[in-house]
Structure 1
Amino acid sequence: MDPFYSPFDFAIQENPYPVYAELREKSPVYRNETDDFWALSRHGDVLSALRDSARFSSRNGLRIEPAFWGPEAEKFFSFVAMDPPKHTRMRGLVSRAFTARRVQELEPRIREIARDCVRPHLDGGTFDLMTDFAGRFPTDVISELVGVPEADRGMVRDLGMAIMYRGEEGGDLPPEALQAIGALVGYYTDLTIERSKKRRGDLLSGLLDAADGDDRLTPEEIVGVLILLVGAGIETTMLTLGNAWHAAWLHPAERARALGGRIGDWIEETLRWEPTSQVLARTATEDITLHGVTIPADAKVLLLTGAANRDPSVFPDPDRFDLDRDTGASLAFGNGRHHCLGANLGRLEARIALEEVTAVVADYEIDEAGAQRVHSSNDRGFVTLPTRITARR
């Protein structure tokens, strides 16, 4: 029987890895006629496509739902949905503001935010990692980075959570998500106007000041970058924390090592074994032949990074969760010109968050019956992770 794969299938979303293995072995260039896409699942093919933006274009966006796909995708994804030279210009200007120094200087404040978010929920012995901690923490970090006033952060948090789509199979964005996007665009537009009159030491001020000669980002482009941070800077970190928590729970020996201080290795193996971003869409700009199969020009192509990260030709015994593994070939943050600009911030947030949680948690159990996964065509993670903890003495 030929393999079947759809990113919209709830059963596959629950556990896509057996399907990925079948695709890698039997159909490395897979065709889904119903949803009208092609898919690449082997590490070498996905890596080559990520590095080949000339033939695998980002111009129509990263997701194939009608709400996100098409020539206006940059409204949702900013420069991530652009090709050179537009992408080169935008990423270059954003990079001038989103510097390693700005991220590093934020570390003490990130730790304060993590403590404020986690400590109130650990006294009773039970908490929900996602709703009590992981949902709020990265939102407040991004607000701190951007320069959102304290008084507005609750509103920004609520709007961001509404945008993080959890829709039905194959569905478009619900009205409340579209309304939240509109409200957040309006808010960030007003904040950009305000900050243009009086700079501070935040990312928004840096974006306003970023210049290459006379070239600067327009206010609309700046707002687009800020909207991108909702998904790239908030949702990714939130889901990564849940995936790390759940992965360690499933593997008691590795959990003991993780709680014993192997935080960095815990994060990196989670990003390899259970990456938040499982699928990246591209558009073929010409006929592309791989493994004797031709993908036609203008076709939608899904790059299955979740499958690539478990390719046994690159990662021996790939289904094993192993903190000693070499994860250098992981594609969790992409590769090529679209390699995630916020990867360092994401890693920093995850490290600090797990350091602060494990400083007071000696061990834990997850209520699997109460755990609930997100339903998303490209992201993998949890909505809820009810947890019973054993506190450190």
Structure 2
Amino acid sequence: MSELASESMSVTESPLLFDPYDYAFHEDPYPLYARLRAESPVFHAPADDLWVVASHADVREVLRDDRTFSNRMGVSLDASAWTEDAHRVMSFLALDGDEQTRLRKLVSGAFTPRRVRELEPQIQRLTEHYLDRTFAANTRDGEVDWITDFAGRLPMDVISELLGVPEADRDEARRLADLTVHREDAVRDVPVDGMTAAFELIEYFSALVKERRKTPADDLTSALTQIENDGDRLSDEEINAFLFLMVVAGNETTTKLLGNALFHLAANPDQQKEVYAEPEDLVSDWIEETLRHDTSSQMLARYVNDDVELSGQKVPAGSKLLVLLGSANRDEEVFSHPDVFDIHRAKDELGQSLSFGTGRHFCLGAHLARLEAKVVLDELVRRTSTFAVHADRAIRVHSTSVRGFRHLPVTFTEASA
């Protein structure tokens, strides 16, 4: 037997393990996802005593059945976050049934599609401001850190404009939000710094809500203090939780989307040329394929209320279950050549993407994330003729919930005037 064949057999026969805290897994989870779908689409990971669901069909079923697969313990697999009090920081993401419907309906009454649309001029202004700074640094240094200089800044500013967070507080809010999702090597829970950051953010928003109740402004926080539905209003605690969710989930996932978009298009230079040649047709397709191919939100936890069977595997009541959105979006049963990044992917396939979830917990901020990405990437393509990502020096975020980059060195070639 050849050395290569022996090595191949060794890899094939290696035990199937799932460790969501493993830094090597964060670098590239997709080979393991493929093995799970092929060998054990509903897999028990004994180290963390959780069930992992990898196929598109099963992930979709779990997401659409919150009676069997409850959100009441939250959506994070971290032990300290797995609690019936999770709604205090995760808002309606950690509620089911009538409680979830009530809270989401109230929040939706303030966080309307119209309010999101009205943000577009501010997003455009912020995009131009940060691109001016980014391109100046690119000219000076020959490259920039796309995350530090742009993608890590703009989404927080957009959320802050929406919520009414003053400019002077935004850098600190961004720092705290980053800490809440970072995971330390060999620490199988939220690190102490992350817990401290979460408490500080909640305290900050508590003070902001109290201020807006006394002196309303033209922002979402004020709207949330005033919204009413048949005499029902949001409590301060409920508003605080939603603001925390917006800053952590809304900011972090959009930052990662903007980084992932540049990373994957640069790795496919022929497709990059096509986007520059036909931006009015292809920028939106670029965004949607990025969301499918390498989604910012990789996994969500659920609590199993009743004994259930998925793909022939019995999962007992009381279990912690993890749905792998990133795996579902690469399922061979749904997507043709799923590991290929393809901006020309058929619309019916893209419509099967689970990046923003499905059912009653479909992401409330999906429209805002898409709007931000569209404004940014439209303007980027308009003002440059090409860009190169220095992938060998890129550094990933290490997180059990989001996938993206902490640092992404990029060189831009600005378009001639």
- Structure 2 length normalisation: TM-score? 0.91
Query: Does the 8 A contact of 2:88 with 2:237 survive in 1?
Result: no
Structure with the bigger percentage of helix = 2
Residue of structure 1 aligned with 2:397, choices 374, 388, 391: 374
Does the alignment pair 1:56 with 2:73?
A: no
Does the alignment pair 1:357 with 2:357?
A: no
Residues in 2 aligned to 1:286 and 1:361: alpha-carbon distance in whole angstroms = 54
Query: Which amino acid in structure 2 is aligned with residue 67 of structure 1?
Result: S
Match of 1:78 in 2: 91
Query: Does the 8 A contact of 1:68 with 1:76 survive in 2?
Result: no
Residues in 1 aligned to 2:294 and 2:84: alpha-carbon distance in whole angstroms = 31
Does the alignment pair 1:9 with 2:22?
A: yes
**Displacement after TM superposition at 1:361 (Å):** 2.0
Residues in 2 aligned to 1:171 and 1:29: alpha-carbon distance in whole angstroms = 22
Query: Does the 8 A contact of 1:7 with 1:378 survive in 2?
Result: no
Seen in structure 2, the aligned counterparts of structure 1 residues 134 and 76 have a Cα distance that, compared at 3 Å, is: same
Length, aligned pairs only? 393
Match of 2:204 in 1: 187
Structure 2 gaps, min length 5: 1-12
Q: Give the match's secondary structure for 1:369.
A: helix
Seen in structure 2, the aligned counterparts of structure 1 residues 174 and 29 have a Cα distance that, compared at 3 Å, is: closer
Query: Which amino acid in structure 1 is aligned with residue 234 of structure 2?
Result: L
Does the alignment pair 1:256 with 2:273?
A: yes
Does the alignment pair 1:272 with 2:295?
A: no
Residue of structure 2 aligned with 1:33, choices 46, 51, 66: 46
Query: How big is each residue's C-alpha offset from its partner over 1:255-295, in whole Å with a ceiling of 9 and x where there is no partner?
Result: 22233312111100000000011111111111111222100
Deviates more, 1:198-207 or 1:299-308: 198-207
Residue of structure 1 aligned with 2:32, choices 19, 26, 29: 19
Query: Which amino acid in structure 2 is aligned with residue 87 of structure 1?
Result: Q
Matches within 5 A, 1:124-163: 124=139, 125-163=142-180
Query: Which amino acid in structure 1 is aligned with residue 403 of structure 2?
Result: R
Q: Give the match's secondary structure for 2:392.
A: coil
CA RMSD of aligned residues (A): 1.4
Query: Which amino acid in structure 1 is aligned with residue 31 of structure 2?
Result: P
Matches within 5 A, 1:170-181: 170-181=187-198
Residues in 2 aligned to 1:152 and 1:276: alpha-carbon distance in whole angstroms = 25
- Percent identity reads 43
Q: Give the match's secondary structure for 2:213.
A: helix
Residue of structure 1 aligned with 2:240, choices 220, 223, 244: 223
**Displacement after TM superposition at 1:170 (Å):** 4.2
Query: Which amino acid in structure 1 is aligned with residue 297 of structure 2?
Result: S
Q: Which protein shows a greater Rg? A: 2
Query: How big is each residue's C-alpha offset from its partner over 1:338-386, in whole Å with a ceiling of 9 and x where there is no partner?
Result: 1000100010011111122222221121222210011111211110000
**Displacement after TM superposition at 1:184 (Å):** 2.0
Query: How big is each residue's C-alpha offset from its partner over 1:100-131, in whole Å with a ceiling of 9 and x where there is no partner?
Result: 00000110011101111221121314111111
Match of 2:415 in 1: 392
Seen in structure 2, the aligned counterparts of structure 1 residues 159 and 9 have a Cα distance that, compared at 3 Å, is: closer
Does the alignment pair 1:234 with 2:243?
A: no
Query: Which amino acid in structure 2 is aligned with residue 85 of structure 1?
Result: D
Structure 1 gaps, min length 5: none
